[in-house]
Amino acid sequence: MVHMAELPSSLFAFLLLLVVSLGDASHPRTPSVPPSTEETVETYNSYYNYVDLSGRLQSFAQKHPHIANLSSVGRSVQGRELWVMRITEDPHRDAPGKPKFKYVGNMHGDEAVSRQVLVYLVEYLLTHYGEEPRVTALVDTTDIYIMPSMNPDGFERSVEGDCGGKNGGRNNARDMDLNRSFPDQYDGTSVDAETVPEVTAVIQWIQEKKFVLSGNLHGGTVVASYPFDDSAMHEQQGHYSKAEDDRLFRYLALVYSQNHPGMKTGVPNCADTPDETFNEGIINGAQWYDVPGGMQDYNYLHGNCLEITMELSCCKYPPASELHKEWDLNRESLLAYIEKVHIGVHGYVKNAVDGGALFNVSIVVASIRHNLTTGKYGEYYRLLLPGTYNITAAAPGYTPMTVDSVVVVEGKATELNFTLAPVVNEKATTYAMPSSHGQNLPSSTTMSSDSTQTRVVPETTSSPPLLLPERQPVQPQDFRHHGYSDMELFLRKYSSEFPSIAHLYSIGRSVENRELFVMVISGNPTVHEHGEPEFKYIANMHGNEVVGRELLLNLIEYLCRNYGTDAEVTHLVNNTRIHIMPSMNPDGYEVATEDDVKGYKGRNNSNKVDLNRNFPDQYFTIREPRQPETIAVMNWVKSIPFTLSANLHGGSLVVNYPFDDDKEGLTQYSQSPDDKVFQQVSRAYSQENPLMHNGHPCEDLYPNEYFEDGITNGANWYNVPGGMQDWNYLNTNCFEVTIELGCVKYPLSKDLPKYWEQNRRALLQFIHQVHSGVKGTVSDIGNGKGIPNATISVEDIPHNITTAGTGDYWRLLVPGTYYITAFAHGYFPLRTYASVSKDHVELLDFKLKRDTNGQSPMSPQPTPNPSEKAFHSLIKDLSLGEGLEQLVSSTDTESRLRYRGYKDLSGFVQGLTLNFPKITSLHSLGQSVEFRTIWGLEISNKPVEAEPSEPKIRLVAGIHGNAPVGTELLLEFAALLCINYGKNPAITRLINETRIVIVPSINPDGREQAVEKQCTSLQGSTNTHGKDLDTDFFGNASQRVVEPQPETRAMMDLILGQGFTLSVALDGGSLVATYPYDKPVQSVENEGTMKYLASVYAKNHPTMHLGDTGCSNNGQMGNIPGGVMRAAERQSHMGSMKDFSMDFGHCPEITVYSGCCLFPAVEQLPKLWAENKKALLSMLVEVHKGVRGVVQDKSGKPIVGAIIVLNGGVRVFTGEGGYFHALLAPGNHNIEAVADGYQQQHKEVVVSSDEAASFIVIEFDMDNSILGLPREFVVAGAAASMTALVVTACIIWCVCAAKSNRQKDGFHRLRQHREDYDDEIRLTSMGSKKSLLAHEFQDESESDEDTLYANKI
């Protein structure tokens, strides 16, 4: 056969005109006169050249006009049409309601199987329509486009039987590989319409049609390949380049491969690569080999479309005799793959005003950083795997709309429509289509999985450009100085208008009680997402340096308005969690004055303290008291794993980097270990500022000042002890620089637009710097869990960073090759090298192996049953995000809060047991001096049965009768639990899995004496004997002078006899949570866990975690970091209930002071309840964390009284059934189990802040040694010594007989005074093992002095 490529060009053109009428040159083109109306029956025994293919397709279109339409999307280099067959119901009309699907074949001209297979698919769909239900449904509901040949020129040069592609038909007629010619995400490949018109045509086609799913058919092996096809480093092979929809791509590739009998084996057995295998018949493109400029990546990144590449045969151009077999192998895969265009979510986005369709609206799925946009009818199709998603529709000029908990089911798309309301007076351009041109879209915005209703909006006549036109970002329009109230309204406005990406919060208050607002902007703004770096901007630290304040408000507006439409902004927001604090010193701003060039009015805070001289310093002692603004920022920075930060100032024009001071106090270069990194990020900012990089900032004010490249080392400029940027670097993972934005500190408002213009590019470029260096995850190689607080060390740079809560980390580095080590307590360190490039962050994960250090392995751990898995899932949900907040809102009860006297209180708790007898049990713990009952209410699903495997929490209040708020809070909490049991699933499950003991009033006598609205009065604080009960808990007789009070005795018996896991005591007079000890000790064993438990309560309280006690009514003023402190630092004293619980009850107890006023007015109770409800619920969640398990011997017999030593210090004992449970702070912990007669056992556990305690089983082996010697040796020695022992016994008997009278008299006197030692005898009789715990949490240096520490609040 003569190939068309061999004919003269004039003859070729003549023959082409005989075959097809070209018509108008505009696209799309359709043939007006087919060469034949006869449809030939397919024989599967020959390839179609271009003329044959054209005739065949035209014949199909003529025969099936009701479902087929043939058109051309463009021409090849040699003028051949790029035919596309559209197959759908009513194919001549463009209407919404059906997702668009495409297959492209023969992209490489010599890979010919795909060309033929797609022709067969066209015929199969057309001829089986109306006969086969599956095909009929597919055609009726899908807009299918099939391009059999993207490279017809290359095919004409190829030769049948050429399996290796040696005849040069792979590329187009200008020798260009079409699958290396698309724009690339890393290299920015340009498209030349002259050399690759085929690519140009396909790009336009992709942009115009907004396909949903696609397949690109090739040949040369048998596998399905999925994005990404290349990586930034362009490693030849082996680099897995993961797309955001990686799980979905794998699923789609498996759909094709698992329906292909040969592909699914993963063993192609190709002659040229006999050893090549593919797991399950699929592979990530870049992992196979690097393909820059590939079509499938372009579809995903620029076309709304998910595409994979299918390699169909080992031989690229096999003999025609193989074609029938290839069709049989691929037919089911081709059909099954098309069907997947109907999974996920689909719907319309319309204008709330007139119902018109909104074009180019971004559809954002939380946690998947890949958005798509709506088509011209407002329609969208978002493929998703089954699951629950939060989905947002966002467009400039409209208020975003988010629908939470959208359920996607298997096999069928969920319908989800959006209605967006325009922003009033919005100047930004929108893409709303005028509804007057057609009918409105459906008005429903509810989800439906079976809706088929569609409405038609006439298509526009204009043809889209090759690529969507670049949209200019929306710039801020309103430039003015914002006072505090104005700024607050601005922030609230943008947080409200853009809730899917913007979240406003406060980190504390200023001296004058102004909020320190922070706006966080991110794709999922309320939570830290694993792998996403945290970035911050802080401004207005000096109140009269205002440019930064206004620039950050401009930046907030810019990011919000351009999200979803500007590629750079969308990328930054989707991949970075950006925290913006416009004003750290709002008090100073309020007194500063406009047009202040170089003054000081308003520079400091209201206490006249320079906040940038108030942070702890590495060289000098900062003597000014730490200010509330400083403390708030310190707590904030330590609570979030920030990577990079900038502190915006004014008065010069330069970027200033650490260190800010020198140990000698001299003006000289003070180099940090990361000096090169700081220079790099500083230049990133200065180079984007058209004035700053010149280095001559303020020639009129400071003519001699010069900064090379617009940057300077801080101390080399002038010394700043106590600066914020140095503190960030030395105490956290965060690299911070200080940016001076202009020579005038407080410029006129008319000058603000020029500051935005000078700095807007620099502000964005600096955020980009957070994505440099290396990042990754440190995880346990055994269970795959991330390791928090692991250390990342870079060789030759003496500055380490640590991993965040889920094991992720970010380490800024300049380009180069580094040796990097990850190590964590209890693991072997791992060292590797990384090559860091300039333009992207290097991914470097570490999988650490545990260091067992010769420890005996534990027995196999039980597999959690489905019920336990569900409970673990509940604990995780309640620990993350808004889970606990949602529980609070779902358990609202009609509260009738009031103060209850003893009689009313007794009736209330008795009423709970009468109304909820199945889950409550009421006990009398004892009586007060005046014979009032001290009630203990137990809430559990089996309150009268022992359940030793469940954790037990104790909630107590009223130890001081003049602070009754805690009593009322616990009564209301008990009512909430009982009322919601059986109604609220989370509350029901928590009660089923927990034993809750509530003691609402320890001191009922004192409560009867207290007086309402007395905030500082001590009346009623003691019991009737005038004893402060919180100084009466002594475990040792040597420490007790008199008998314990009856109230104390009742609580001591409860603490000692119940085996509690956690205790929370409520008190009043402050706003703080304290942890042990109350007594003066030098250090607290396991202090990290104690402090962590207190912080859990504080952080779930709306104001406590801010640390501002604000108790001016009783003189208790101050700022407590995180709202948490050691109890002795508040008011040191001996004999506290908290200390007794720790030392003798072996149970950690925190004390929560719920408010400044001891006995506030009854009207305050609802507010106090609302503040503490979430925190109390958090304690029910927290008691299920830490580590729990059972100790048993090899036969499975439980061992009671075994000692569990935590981290070499803290001890707990196993109780009934051998069970134990200990709360621990998140991190890695060592467990040592000891029991008499058994070999010591060791184990390491990882505790997570959001995971329920895993159940572990510790099995003991018998210890066959005695005193470290073999048992047989000791027995023999004992026998040899028996005679001597008998003689010794006789001597002892004689001596005892001689002294019997004196001994009897001594025992008589001891019995007379038995009462004085009752507590000591009882405690010591509990067994020698428990006596080991007498000083479990005590420091050895502790004395019995009753030393009182000064009140520090």
Q: What is the pLDDT of residues 264-312, one digit of tens each?
A: 999 999 988 998 999 999 999 999 999 999 999 999 999 999 999 999 9
Active-site residue (options: 123, 208, 307, 311): 311
Does residue 499 have a pLDDT over 80? Answer: yes
pLDDT of residue 1114: 52
pLDDT of residue 1228: 81
Question: d(Cα 216, Cα 147) in Å, to the nearest integer?
Answer: 10
pLDDT of residue 43: 78
E strands present in 986-1043 = 995-999
Does residue 864 have a pLDDT over 60? Answer: no
> Average of pLDDT values for 135-142?
95
Q: Place 1330 in a pLDDT band, splitting at 50, 70 and 90.
A: very low
> Average of pLDDT values for 1166-1171?
92
pLDDT of residue 465: 34
- Tokens 């260190």 belong to 659
Helix ranges (DSSP H) in 508-546: none
pLDDT of residue 866: 67
> Average of pLDDT values for 1209-1227?
84
* pLDDT tens readout for residues 616-646: 998 888 888 889 999 999 989 988 999 999 9
Does residue 1311 have a pLDDT over 90? Answer: no
pLDDT of residue 142: 96
* pLDDT tens readout for residues 946-998: 788 889 999 999 999 999 999 999 999 999 999 999 889 899 999 999 999 99
Question: d(Cα 772, Cα 808) in Å, to the nearest integer?
Answer: 15
Please list the residues that pair with 98 across neighbouring strands. none
Contact partners, residue 1111, CB within 8 Å, separation at least 6? 1069, 1070, 1071, 1117, 1156, 1353
Element (H, E) at 1270: strand 1269-1270
Q: Which residue has the higher pLDDT, 1286 or 712?
A: 712
Does residue 1283 have a pLDDT over 70? Answer: no
Does residue 1277 have a pLDDT over 70? Answer: no
Does residue 1267 have a pLDDT over 60? Answer: no
Does residue 1344 have a pLDDT over 50? Answer: no
pLDDT of residue 1301: 47
Q: What is the DSSP letter of 529?
A: P
The answer to whether residues 644 and 703 touch, using CB atoms and an 8 Å cutoff, is no
> Average of pLDDT values for 316-331?
94
Does residue 1332 have a pLDDT over 50? Answer: no
> Average of pLDDT values for 1167-1187?
93
Annotation says 740 is catalytic:
yes
State what percent of residues in the chain have pLDDT above 70: 84
Does residue 5 have a pLDDT over 70? Answer: no
Three-state helix/strand/coil letters over 706-734 = CCHHHEEEHHHHCCCCCCHHHHHHHHCCC
Helix ranges (DSSP H) in 1162-1261: 1165-1182
State what percent of residues in the chain have pLDDT above 90: 59
pLDDT of residue 664: 87
Sign of CA dihedral 728, 732, 735, 741: negative
Please list the residues that pair with 820 across neighbouring strands. 794, 832
Does residue 1109 have a pLDDT over 50? Answer: yes
The answer to whether residues 964 and 1007 touch, using CB atoms and an 8 Å cutoff, is yes
Q: Which residue has the higher pLDDT, 1344 or 132?
A: 132
Active-site residue (options: 532, 557, 740, 1149): 740
* pLDDT tens readout for residues 929-951: 999 999 999 999 988 887 888 89
Find the range with the poorest average confidence among 391-395, 564-568, 1103-1107.
1103-1107
Does residue 320 have a pLDDT over 50? Answer: yes
* pLDDT tens readout for residues 44-58: 889 999 999 999 999
pLDDT of residue 1343: 36
> Average of pLDDT values for 860-878?
74
- Tokens 């088509």 belong to 375
| DSSP-derived 3-state class of residue 1117 | coil
Q: Which residue has the higher pLDDT, 95 or 452?
A: 95
> Average of pLDDT values for 1109-1120?
59
Query: What are the backbone angles phi and psi of residue 1259, rounded to the nearest 5°?
Result: -110, 130
Q: Which residue has the higher pLDDT, 35 or 1084?
A: 1084
- Tokens 């179609």 belong to 48
pLDDT of residue 1312: 39
Annotation says 311 is catalytic:
yes
pLDDT of residue 262: 93
Question: d(Cα 640, Cα 889) in Å, to the nearest integer?
Answer: 26
| Max CA distance (Å), the chain | 138
pLDDT of residue 1270: 54
| Structure tokens that stand for 494 in this block | 């943008």
> Average of pLDDT values for 799-818?
94
Give the Cβ contact number of residue 213 at 10 Å. Answer: 26
E strands present in 209-259 = 213-218, 222-226
pLDDT of residue 437: 31
Q: How many helices (H) and strands (E) does the chain have?
A: 35, 50
| DSSP-derived 3-state class of residue 957 | strand
Does residue 848 have a pLDDT over 90? Answer: yes
Q: Place 877 in a pLDDT band, splitting at 50, 70 and 90.
A: confident
* pLDDT tens readout for residues 227-277: 999 988 888 889 999 999 999 999 999 999 999 999 999 999 998 899 899
Q: Place 500 in a pLDDT band, splitting at 50, 70 and 90.
A: confident
Contact partners, residue 1285, CB within 8 Å, separation at least 6? none
Find the range with the poorest average confidence among 496-505, 652-661, 1246-1255, 1312-1321.
1312-1321
Find the range with the poorest average confidence among 171-175, 561-565, 717-721, 820-824.
561-565
Instruction: Give, in order, the Cα–Cα distances in Å from 511 to each of 611, 627, 788.
Output: 12, 8, 35
Q: Place 194 in a pLDDT band, splitting at 50, 70 and 90.
A: confident
The answer to whether residues 882 and 390 touch, using CB atoms and an 8 Å cutoff, is no
Q: Place 1113 in a pLDDT band, splitting at 50, 70 and 90.
A: low
Q: Place 42 in a pLDDT band, splitting at 50, 70 and 90.
A: confident
Find the range with the poorest average confidence among 111-125, 417-431, 706-720.
417-431
* pLDDT tens readout for residues 1054-1091: 998 878 999 999 999 999 999 998 888 656 777 888 99
What mean pLDDT is reported for the chain?
A: 84
